[in-house]
């Protein structure tokens, strides 16, 4: 472990102490978990944003190509009816 000295607001100190007492974890454990959670959330947001950009590019591609010839042999109602009957 590496020792760090940090400054936090008094309200953060109060919250940290309350959470430590409530959970039985040390304040240091809670800070480490918060850092891990922050990094995980940030990575998830980056993956989500990357996926969304790819999806937008896919949508723009299909819009640019215009309407596609009709190839399906079913209607939305038929598909819904089939899914509804599969549930029961």
pLDDT of residue 86: 64
Q: How many domains does the chain have?
A: 1
- Kindly report, residue by residue over 36-73, the tens digit of the pLDDT: 999 999 999 999 999 999 999 999 998 898 877 777 77
Residue 70 lies in a domain: no
Categorize the per-residue pLDDT at 85 as very low, low, confident or very high, splitting at 50, 70 and 90.
Answer: low
Residue 68 lies in a domain: no
Report the C-alpha gap between 28 and 6 in whole angstroms.
Answer: 11
CA geometry: angle 77, 79, 84, nearest 5 deg: 95
Residue 22 lies in a domain: yes
Residue 12 lies in a domain: yes
- Residue that wins the pLDDT comparison between 55 and 81: 55
pLDDT of residue 80: 79
What mean pLDDT comes out for the span 7-18? 97
Q: How many CA atoms lie within 13 A of 20 on its CB side?
A: 13
Residues composing the chain: 88
For 31, the domain range is 7-47
Report the C-alpha gap between 71 and 88 in whole angstroms.
Answer: 30
**How many CB atoms sit inside 10 A of residue 20's CB?**
16
pLDDT of residue 81: 74
């Amino acid at each position: 472990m590496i020792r760090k000295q940090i400054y936090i607001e008094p309200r953060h100190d109060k919250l940290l102490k309350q959470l430590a007492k409530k959970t039985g974890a040390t304040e240091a454990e809670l800070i480490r978990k918060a850092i891990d959670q922050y990094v995980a959330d940030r990575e998830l947001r980056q993956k989500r944003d990357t996926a969304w950009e790819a999806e937008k590019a896919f949508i723009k591609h299909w819009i640019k190509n215009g309407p596609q010839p009709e190839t399906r042999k079913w209607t939305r109602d038929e598909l819904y009816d089939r899914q509804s009957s599969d549930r029961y």
